[in-house]
Amino acid sequence: MSETTNRDITATLKFGIRHLVAVLFIINSIGLLVHSIGSGFALLLAGLLLIERVQSRLETQIGTELSTIQFLAIIAILYFSSAIFLFNAVDVASEAPDILVPYD
């Protein structure tokens, strides 16, 4: 009985955390679209892929099942590419506080 309950709790936590991160990625991507379109779209795609229906639809379209490592690698690549696009789009010297860039 305890083993079934632990599996249920683990599955519920995994589902909840995955969708919470997906919602946070999607909300942040909307804000990032203002600064960098590439950054916003990369984070939006990462957020959408975290939703299980989108992942299963993608897997049926490509005809294979992604392992957990492959899936996490795709999300990490999209997340870090979003950060790189944003760093390239933002001029730190003009938008950062004076404490970060004291000698402009």
Q: What is the pLDDT of residues 21-59, one digit of tens each?
A: 999 999 999 988 888 888 999 999 999 999 989 999 989
**Residue pointed to by tokens 């996490």:** 72
Please name the residues in contact with 41: beta carbons below 8 A apart, sequence gap of 6 or more.
Answer: 29, 33
Q: Is 32 exposed, middle or buried (0-12, 13-18, 19+ CB in 10 A)?
A: buried
Which residues span the domain enclosing 16?
A: 2-88
Which pLDDT score, from 0 to 100, does residue 95 have? Answer: 62
Q: What is the pLDDT of residues 54-100, one digit of tens each?
A: 999 989 999 999 888 999 999 999 999 998 888 887 666 666 566 65
69 part of a folded domain: yes
77 part of a folded domain: yes
Give the length of the chain.
Answer: 104
Token digits for 2?
């305890």
* Confidence category of residue 15, pLDDT binned at 50, 70, 90: confident
Which pLDDT score, from 0 to 100, does residue 3 have? Answer: 67
50 part of a folded domain: yes
Which pLDDT score, from 0 to 100, does residue 2 have? Answer: 61
46 part of a folded domain: yes
